């Protein structure tokens, strides 16, 4: 018996539905993502409004998306680790700590980009 794979537009529609479900979950249930999302909703219009070069505007906007992307990946790592088991394990802790460090670095990158463009 062969399973039929979704292809073409059907695959794209399924992928979009799964992506929407992931974003919806993170906005409703993940405080860190919700805070970063709200910050992006405030800063995105500001980036468009500011009198900066095209490349600076792109960097400002992309840096906001970078933070949210890394936070989504961190949430996925945490969910996978939690699914594996609730007992404490050194590697589980390491995976979560490294994911958190990635979020921190993305936030620092975003802050440096915005500060560099606005103040230097």
Terminal CA-CA length for the chain: 64
Confidence of residue 1 (pLDDT cuts 50, 70, 90): low
Rounded Cα distance between 46 and 48, Å, is 5
Residue 52: which domain range?
A: 30-119
Is the pLDDT confidence value at 5 over 70? yes
pLDDT value of position 3:
66
Residue of 71, 78, 87, 90 marked catalytic: 71
Sole residue written with tokens 């620092």: 108
CA atoms within 13 A on the CB side of 110: 22
Look at residue 3 and tell me if it is in a domain.
Answer: no
Domain count, the chain: 1
Look at residue 63 and tell me if it is in a domain.
Answer: yes
Look at residue 22 and tell me if it is in a domain.
Answer: no
Rounded Cα distance between 70 and 68, Å, is 5
Look at residue 81 and tell me if it is in a domain.
Answer: yes
Residue scoring higher pLDDT (109 or 7): 109
Give pLDDT tens digits for 62-120.
999 999 999 999 999 999 999 998 889 999 999 999 999 999 999 999 999 999 999 99
Look at residue 24 and tell me if it is in a domain.
Answer: no
Look at residue 40 and tell me if it is in a domain.
Answer: yes
Q: Percentage of the chain surpassing pLDDT 70?
A: 98
Rounded Cα distance between 16 and 10, Å, is 10
**CATH number of the domain enclosing 84:** 1.10.287.3610
Q: Is 36 considered catalytic here?
A: no
> Taking the complete model, does pTM exceed 0.75, yes or no?
yes
Look at residue 87 and tell me if it is in a domain.
Answer: yes
Helix, strand, coil percent content, the chain, rounded in steps of 5: 85, 0, 15
Sole residue written with tokens 């799964």: 18
Look at residue 12 and tell me if it is in a domain.
Answer: no
């Amino acid at each position: 018996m062969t399973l039929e794979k979704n292809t073409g537009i059907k695959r794209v529609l399924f992928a979009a539905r799964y992506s929407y479900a992931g974003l919806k979950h993170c906005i409703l249930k993940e405080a860190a993502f919700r805070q970063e999302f709200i910050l992006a909703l405030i800063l995105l219009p500001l980036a468009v409004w500011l009198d900066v070069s095209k490349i600076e505007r792109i960097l400002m906007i992309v840096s906001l998306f970078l933070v949210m992307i890394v936070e989504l990946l961190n949430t996925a790592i945490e969910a996978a680790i939690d699914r594996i088991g609730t007992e404490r394990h050194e590697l589980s802790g390491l995976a979560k700590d490294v994911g958190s460090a990635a979020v921190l670095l993305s936030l620092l990158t975003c802050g440096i980009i915005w500060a560099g463009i606005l103040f230097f």
